[in-house]
Protein backbone atom coordinates (compact mmCIF):
# COMPACT_ATOMS: atom_id res chain seq x y z
CA UNK A 1 0.00 0.00 0.00
CA UNK A 2 2.62 2.53 -1.12
CA UNK A 3 0.24 5.46 -1.44
CA UNK A 4 -1.20 5.02 2.06
CA UNK A 5 0.20 5.66 5.54
CA UNK A 6 -1.26 3.99 8.61
CA UNK A 7 -1.80 6.35 11.54
CA UNK A 8 -0.97 5.22 15.07
CA UNK A 9 -4.75 4.96 15.66
CA UNK A 10 -5.08 2.56 12.72
CA UNK A 11 -6.67 5.11 10.37
CA UNK A 12 -5.43 5.29 6.79
CA UNK A 13 -4.01 8.47 5.29
CA UNK A 14 -3.86 8.67 1.50
CA UNK A 15 -0.61 10.31 0.43
CA UNK A 16 -1.40 11.00 -3.22
CA UNK A 17 -1.07 14.75 -3.76
CA UNK A 18 -3.33 14.76 -6.79
CA UNK A 19 -6.34 12.82 -5.49
CA UNK A 20 -8.12 15.60 -3.60
CA UNK A 21 -6.83 14.36 -0.24
CA UNK A 22 -6.19 17.78 1.33
CA UNK A 23 -2.47 17.13 1.77
CA UNK A 24 -0.36 20.17 2.51
CA UNK A 25 3.27 20.64 1.55
CA UNK A 26 5.56 22.50 3.96
CA UNK A 27 8.82 23.98 2.75
CA UNK A 28 11.44 26.12 4.42
CA UNK A 29 11.31 29.74 3.32
CA UNK A 30 14.85 29.43 1.93
CA UNK A 31 13.49 27.00 -0.69
CA UNK A 32 10.94 29.55 -1.87
CA UNK A 33 13.51 32.36 -1.73
CA UNK A 34 15.83 30.24 -3.91
CA UNK A 35 13.35 29.85 -6.76
CA UNK A 36 14.05 32.40 -9.51
CA UNK A 37 11.29 34.95 -10.07
CA UNK A 38 11.18 34.03 -13.74
CA UNK A 39 10.45 30.36 -12.96
CA UNK A 40 7.30 29.02 -14.57
CA UNK A 41 4.47 27.76 -12.40
CA UNK A 42 5.46 24.20 -13.35
CA UNK A 43 9.08 24.80 -12.30
CA UNK A 44 7.91 26.45 -9.07
CA UNK A 45 5.64 23.52 -8.21
CA UNK A 46 8.34 20.97 -9.08
CA UNK A 47 10.78 22.69 -6.71
CA UNK A 48 8.24 22.89 -3.87
CA UNK A 49 7.20 19.25 -4.21
CA UNK A 50 10.76 17.95 -4.48
CA UNK A 51 12.00 19.78 -1.37
CA UNK A 52 8.93 19.94 0.85
CA UNK A 53 7.47 17.66 3.50
CA UNK A 54 3.95 16.26 3.28
CA UNK A 55 1.51 17.17 6.07
CA UNK A 56 -1.63 15.07 6.43
CA UNK A 57 -4.42 15.02 9.01
CA UNK A 58 -5.95 11.72 10.12
CA UNK A 59 -9.71 11.89 9.68
CA UNK A 60 -10.17 9.28 12.42
CA UNK A 61 -8.29 10.88 15.31
CA UNK A 62 -7.09 14.30 14.11
CA UNK A 63 -3.37 13.52 14.45
CA UNK A 64 -1.00 15.38 12.15
CA UNK A 65 1.34 13.16 10.15
CA UNK A 66 4.48 14.65 8.65
CA UNK A 67 6.33 12.66 6.01
CA UNK A 68 9.91 13.86 5.63
CA UNK A 69 11.96 13.80 2.45
CA UNK A 70 13.55 10.51 3.47
CA UNK A 71 10.16 8.84 3.82
CA UNK A 72 10.11 8.81 7.63
CA UNK A 73 6.73 9.66 9.15
CA UNK A 74 6.16 11.41 12.49
CA UNK A 75 2.76 11.69 14.16
CA UNK A 76 1.63 14.52 16.42
CA UNK A 77 -1.48 14.88 18.52
CA UNK A 78 -2.85 18.31 19.30
CA UNK A 79 -2.78 19.37 22.92
CA UNK A 80 -5.99 20.52 24.58
What sign for the dihedral angle of Cα 40, 47, 31, 75? Answer: positive
| Greatest C-alpha distance within the chain | 44
Which sequence spans correspond to the domains of the chain? 4-76
Q: How many CB atoms lie within 10 A of CB 13?
A: 22
Q: What is the pLDDT of residue 2?
A: 64
Chain centroid offset of residue 50 CA: 11
Strands 64-67 and 73-76: antiparallel
pLDDT in tens, the chain (80 residues): 468 899 999 999 988 877 677 889 999 999 999 999 999 999 999 999 899 999 999 999 999 999 988 889 999 998 87
Amino acid sequence: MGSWITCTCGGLLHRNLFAGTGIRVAVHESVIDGIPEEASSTEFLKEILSKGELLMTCKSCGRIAIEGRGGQVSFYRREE
